[in-house]
Structure 1
Amino acid sequence: MQNKSNNMYQSTLFGSYQTVELIETFMNYQENIRRCVCIIYDPSRSNLGVLALKALKLSDSFMELYRSNSFTGEKLREKNLSWVDIFEEIPIKVSNSALISAFMTELEPEAPVSQCDYERLQLSANPYMERNMEFLIECMDDLSMEQQKFQFYYRNLSRQQAQQQAWLQKRRAENNARLKAGEEPLPEEDPLNSIFKPIPEPSRLDSFLVTNQIANYCNQINGVAGQSFSKLYLLKALHEN
């Protein structure tokens, strides 16, 4: 990464940019540059004939939660924040100067169709699809691990609540007996008891990033598959003619 004016530039492989490192870099730049944008370039996708450029920024609501390090379910519901609200994509337009456009026009062949034009119809996207599928499977495994963390947390929370309820019923029965004996009742909570210590909730940041990355891989697979079907229909028409 490098900084120029108020922009950052980062290359990525198969759209794998949804990381904590990128968020931390954003936050560091935000301390000095309020309107900070990251330009993402994906050479693996550009090899398929698409100029893969994205301009991203962190949403204000996400940055506020990140500063407080409060990615609990309660805070996320309070801010109405979901995994799609981490990054905001800014429309980007790439244009050439008139001199460059004239130069490119001079380089274009005079023939209406050349062998290079036919080569664009080759179904050479299989390696790209395979790598996206491999990364997608890895992300699904990561998401499963994140879900296991929350399942473990909720099991412990449920067990603790049951222990608290049993302790409270026992204490209330003991207090009833003390009142009948004319004694002062005991408090119904014991801060020194381990069952009353709150269990920290796991952060949902990693699961949000993984889910975001899964959606990105699915969109890329869908886009390349659509292009491949279009090429198949064009090749079928050429063979019939």
Structure 2
Amino acid sequence: MLTITLLDGSFQTVELIETFMNYQENIRRCVCIIYDPLKSNQGVLALKALKLSDSFMELYRTNNFTGEKLREKNLSWVDIFEEIPIKVSNSALISAFMTELEADTPVVQCDYDRLQLSTSPFLERNMEFLIECMDDLSMEQQKFQYYYRNLSRQQAQQQAWLQKRRAENMARKATGEEPLPEEDPSNPVFKPLPEPSRLDSFLITNQISNYCNQINGVAGQSFSRLYLTKALHEN
């Protein structure tokens, strides 16, 4: 079991995947426990168990995250991790002991804190992470734009070279000479351009999705508290 204490969403990194791959390769039943202390302070136990999907692990071993390979495997950014349900339970003795204490326990500050309408620290931190992820995703998109511009330029050069070679062969045929081959692997124009890996963009997209879900969940709870407070004031 691999346990990591992180803000939910920030675990989507290549370093974690490499570590997790080593664990899953050597331990048959291995899961990664993600714990978010910041969200847990808001009254919600932020705990989840994850494992790498089999399809992602198979592709990661080949380190081939090109668009063609991803379409062939039908793999998207949501298929990297598989979440395993977690059930947290107490023993019967602990439950009985907590029930015994509950009646005599006075209201503490923690109980009042749950009614606070302010969620600024949690929202601010998630918004900061979300903005950073959007900047990282924009940089990844620029890499692909640069790749496709170079690919388009190379294809135009290949067509120009091919047309020139065909015209040259027509002239050679007219003079009775042997035509030259229309493919020349030694020519730099025909050297394949390496396609950038899509793994980083997949992980960043996963992080963005997690942060958006966190913000949406906290905003929903804040609205519920506002409506509850409004109803109490009216009564």
**Shorter-chain TM-score category?**
over 0.9
TM-score (normalizing by structure 1): 0.94
Query: Could you tell which deviates more after superposition, 9-18 or 114-123?
Result: 114-123
C-alpha separation between the residues in 1 aligned to 2:165 and 2:216?
60
Q: Does 1:224 align with 2:214?
A: no
Question: For structure 1, which runs of at least 5 residues remain unmatched after alignment?
Answer: 1-6
Counterpart check, 1:8 vs 2:17: no
Determine whether 1:215 maps to 2:232.
no
Q: Does 1:34 align with 2:43?
A: no
Partner residue in 2 for 1:235: 229
CA contact (8 A) 1:10 1:41 kept: yes
The equivalent of 1:194 in structure 2 is: 188
Partner of 2:173 in structure 1? 179
Identity %: 85
Q: How far 1:21 moved relative to its partner?
A: 1.1
SS in 2 for 1:212: helix
Among 145, 162, 166, which residue is 1:151 paired with? 145
CA contact (8 A) 1:14 1:44 kept: no
Partner of residue 119, structure 1: 113
Q: Partners in 2 of 1:18 and 1:190 — Cα distance?
A: 43
Cα deviation for residue 112 of structure 1 reads 9.9
Unaligned runs of 5+ in 2: none
CA–CA distance in structure 2, aligned partners of residues 234 and 153 of structure 1: 53
SS of match in other structure, 2:233? helix
Cα displacement (A) at 1:113: 7.5
1:53-72 CA-to-partner distances (Å, cap 9, x unmatched) read 10100001100111000000
CA deviation after TM superposition for structure 1 residue 35, in Å? 2.4
Amino acid of the residue matched to residue 59 of structure 1?
A: S
> Which region of structure 1 is more displaced relative to structure 2, 103-112 or 142-151?
103-112
How far the C-alpha of 1:107 sits from its partner, in A, is: 2.1
Question: Displacement of 1:118 after TM fit?
Answer: 4.1
The structure 2 residue matched to 1:61, chosen from 43, 50, 55, is 55
Q: Where does residue 170 of structure 1 map in the other structure?
A: 164
Structure 1 runs of 4+ off > 3 angstroms? Answer: 109-119
Q: CA deviation at 1:109?
A: 3.5
- The structural deviation recorded for 1:119 is 3.5
CA positional deviation for 1:27 = 0.7
Kindly indicate whether the alpha-carbon contact (under 8 Å) linking 1:72 and 1:203 is maintained by their aligned counterparts in 2.
Answer: yes
**Which amino acid in structure 2 is aligned with residue 143 of structure 1?**
L
Q: Quick one: distance in 2 between partners of 1:14 and 1:173?
A: 62
Query: Per-residue deviation at 1:31?
Result: 2.0
Shift of 1:81: 0.3
- The structure-2 alpha-carbon separation of the partners of 1:111 and 1:63, relative to structure 1 and needing over 3 Å to count, comes to closer
**How many angstroms apart in 1 are the aligned matches of 2:69 and 2:182?**
29
Once the two structures are TM-superposed, the CA of residue 190 in structure 1 deviates from its matched residue by 1.1
1:159-179 deviations in whole A, cap 9, x for unaligned? 000000000000001001111
TM-score by length of 2: 0.96
Asked if 1:51 is matched to 2:45, the reply is yes
d(CA) in 2 for partners of 1:115, 1:68 = 54
What root-mean-square deviation, in Å, do the aligned CA atoms of Structure 1 and Structure 2 show?
1.5
Over 3 Å counting, the alpha-carbon distance change for 1:11 and 1:115 in structure 2 is closer
Q: Is the 8 A contact 2:8 2:34 kept in 1?
A: no
Q: Deviations over 1:58-112 (max 9, x none)?
A: 0011001110000000000000000000001011110000111112112214589
Asked whether the equivalents of residues 137 and 201 of structure 2 are also in contact (C-alpha less than 8 Å), the reply is yes
